[in-house]
Structures are given as structure tokens and as C-alpha cells.
A and B are shown apart, each in its own frame.
Chain A
């Protein structure tokens, strides 16, 4: 009875989210089985349409490559932060957190400036005589990968860092004292102990990459289509609501299934707790 007042506090947010978030999303799911006509015809395209399959495969490929590189580079940074002195640690953290909060558009724009045909990278290389023809660095899959990995590294660092901080440094010292080389300490002690963080980071980066729109749209130049841009094309240009919402539903389902599968290994609440702050 005394809790009634506290429930009132939850009400505004709950109503807002139900009416203006959950309802529009449920509508998307509903449209996918009712338009153009009721039934699973839109989902049949998953099995029959080569175009649909190609978009899905492209997206999965790009997301897996992005996840791999974000984990590799993120691990190196998280490792450096864990071992750094408190003073150096602050600088390393800046290098991770500042890009995280800089507008994704600004970052995509910076990459275009650097990578396009007459961009800074090609111009510098041509003037230095390393190449005679500009390299195709952007408006293709390579450009997408460069931009996506750049965006995802900070998201990979945070969960891994949280896991590495919990590793007891005395274990490392003990291994060294028992005669292990630095490489052995890393491979046999540090790496296995940091694995939960690596898995959490991998899941986070993978599900964020799946629905990514802005970076692939700008750096892909419309040639390499990922799922999000394909959905936007179906809705805005081709007015094929059924197909667009079908793909959107598949996107949400894939993300939820991935989270459920890994929720046994990964503490989701902690994952998003570190992601936001």
C-alpha cells in the first residue's frame, strides 16, 4: 500500500515507452505479416529471393569482420589501460571515450575527407610517388569496414576493460615468479581470465553493427548495401512496406536471439551499465 506512490513515479516513463516506443515497433512486426496481404509471403522471400539473401550475407560478413577487428584493436587498448600507470590511464581513456561521443556523422565525414579519390591519403601517397593511380579506399566495402571498426572499438573496449580490472594482479606476479615468460603469462593466465569480457564485447559490437545505418550509407556509397540501408530503400523509395518490415523484424529477432543465447555467459545489465557511462 505504501508502495503505490512509488509506482506512480514509474508511470510516466512506462506510458511514454509503451505508447511511443513499443506500439510503433509492434506495428512494424504486424505490418510484416499483413501487407501486401495477410500471411507469411514476405518471409518466403528469405528462401526465394536472391537479392534478400545477398543483403543478409553481406551484412553478416561485414558485421563479423567488424567484430573481429574491433575486438583485436579494443583488446590491445584495454590491455594497455589495465597495465598503465594511473596518469597514463587517464590519457588512454580519453582516446577511447572522446571518439565514442563525437557525432557519427562527423566521423564519417572525416573518413570521406581522408579516403576519397582526391582525399588526403591518396594525394599524399601520389605526391610521395608510392602510387600513380588513386586507390579505391571509400564508397566500397573497405570504406565501410574502416568506418565501422572505428565506431565500434570504444564499445569493445569498455566491457573488456571491466573484465580485465577484476583480474588479480598477484596471479600475474605469481606466474612470473614461477618462471613463466611474459608471453606465457599473457597466453595462459591473462587471456583466459579476460575471456568473459571479450565475449561480452563481441556480442555488443555484433548486435550494434547489425542495424547500423549512417556509416555504411555514407562510406558505402550506395553500392554495398547492408540491412538497415536496404530497409530504408524499401520503405522510402520502393514503398514496399511488407518487405521492409519483414527485414526489420528479422533484424530485431536476430538481435534478441543473440542476446538470449549469450545471456547465460554475459551479464547484460552490467554490459549496458558500462556502455552508457
Chain B
């Protein structure tokens, strides 16, 4: 244990506290703003009010975008999880120089800025008729979600004893049987983690949809973006609070799953 033997000095402690507050407080500020009784962005004056939540939750535009974002994220997550999991398993089992290169290739979407991919897709999707289409956004989000799944599943596989797989194969199990009965159950927590991160990735993604979607596909981040640039009203704060709550629920789910996997 490192604590006890050596404490941080007052300067270090102070800076750490200031940083923690800097990270967390600005995010928390949207809660009182969302509950304001005023018609403009401000702290509540006389009473707390849920009117701005009502505005959002009864607006067909906001609800439509939330629903669309949800469906896109769901479909994109399925794509990322299936492709990413199988790829991570294949790379783990073969484990050669060539699969190291493939794994690196899968991580590219984390390294290359999305603006570069966005202008690329804008041009690439045109002739394919995928601009402003549900399928187009699902493909874009699905492909860029693969790295999250590859990372979490590879981490889970690193803790998996490869002799189990060899034993199963040695006793005559086919590849698909080995996958279904031996490998997948063991790495399920990693897959679920990857799925959660891939889902959040698609749900929050803005840069790509700014380029490859315009009218028919109008996701939640896109509507928030327009809101920030056009009319800053407390309804935006209400949306922000709902989003934060949703992200927290997903993260807590992930944590609970990891705990269960550890025990």
C-alpha cells in the first residue's frame, strides 16, 4: 500500500481538489439551470420548476430525435459487437504478426480524427445513395464503434486460459460449438462492456452526422447542436440532465457487471 508511507503535500492535494471540482462542478450546474422557473438560462429564482422537462418530453421533435438516436445506436452497437468480438477472438487465437496489424487497423477510428472520416464519408456515401439514410449512419457509427469492442474483448481474452479452447477442440467440438459453449460465456463481461461503450459512442456522435445526415436523419446530438447555436433556452439544460442521467445509468450497469465478473 502506498498510502500512509508517503502523503501528498498541501500543494499537490490542493491542485488535485481544484481539478476534481473543475471536472465535476460545471457538469452539475446544468441541473439547477434545468429546474429554473425562468424562461431563460438562469438559476431558479423563486421556485423549482419541471416545466422545461415537460417541454422536452412533450415535444415531437425532441422525442423523434431521441427515438431515432436510440434506434441508430442499437443497430450500430449490434454491428460493432458482432464484428468486433469475432475479430478479437480470431486475432487472439491466431496471434501472429499479421493479426497484430489487423488489430492496429481496428484501432484506427480512435486515432484518426472524425472530421477526416466525416468528409471522406460525405464524398464516399454520395454515389452509394447512403447520405441522410438510417443505414448510412448505422454503418458509420458501427464501424467507428468496433475499436471499443475489440479493446474490451481482447482484455477479457487475455485472462482466458487458451488450453480450455484446445481441450474443447481436442474432444471433438466444432469451431462454432467451441465459440458458443466455451469462449463466449467466459468473455461475456468484456462483450457487454464493449457494447455499452459502442452504444454511448453512437448515441453521442455528432461530427459524422453533421456531414452524412441532414433532414430525414436528425439525431439527438444534432438537435442539441442546433439548439446551442440558435436558441439557448432552459429546455437545452433539461435535455442535458436527461443525457447525463442516461450515461450514468449505463456506466453503473457496466460497473455492476464488472463487479459480478470479478466475484
Interface residues of A (CB under 8 A from B): 3, 5-10, 12-14, 16-17, 20-25, 27-28, 31, 72-74, 76-77, 79-80, 82-85, 92, 95-99, 101-114, 116, 118-120, 123, 150, 153-154, 167, 169, 172-173, 176, 182-183, 185-186, 207, 210-214, 218, 228, 231-232, 235-236, 241, 244-245, 248, 251-252, 255-256, 259, 272-273, 275-277
B159, CB-defined interface residue at 8 Å: no
Decide: B108 and A17 in contact? CB cutoff 8 A: yes
Q: When chains A and B are docked, how far (Å) is the Cα of A119 from the Cα of B43?
A: 10
A211-B115 contact in complex given A14-B102, A103-B221, A172-B2, C-beta closer than 8 Å: yes
Contact of A252 among B26, B29, B112, B148 (CB under 8 A): B112
* Residue B23 CB within 8 A of the other chain: yes
CB distance from B83 to the nearest CB of A (A): 4
Q: Which chain A residues lie closer than 8 Å to B89 at the CB level?
A: 6, 9
Q: Does B193 sit at the interface, judged by CB under 8 A?
A: yes
What are 24 A-B contacts defined by CB distance under 8 Å? A3-B93, A9-B87, A13-B84, A16-B79, A80-B13, A83-B8, A92-B20, A103-B224, A105-B204, A105-B228, A110-B29, A110-B30, A110-B240, A113-B29, A114-B26, A116-B232, A119-B41, A169-B5, A218-B229, A228-B115, A248-B115, A273-B151, A273-B154, A277-B151
Determine the distance from Cα of A21 to Cα of B116 in the docked complex, in whole angstroms. 11
Return chain B residues, CB-CB under 8 Å to A5: 175
Minimum CB–CB distance for B85 against chain A, Å? 9
A106 vs B123: C-alpha distance when bound (angstroms): 29
A-B contacts counted at CB < 8 A amount to 275
Asked if A27 and B26 sit within 8 Å, CB to CB, the answer is: no
Q: Name B's interface SS.
A: helix
Do B6 and A173 touch (CB < 8 A)? yes
Q: Which residue of B lies closest to A231 (CB)?
A: B115
User: What residue in chain A is nearest B13 (Cβ atoms)?
Assistant: A80
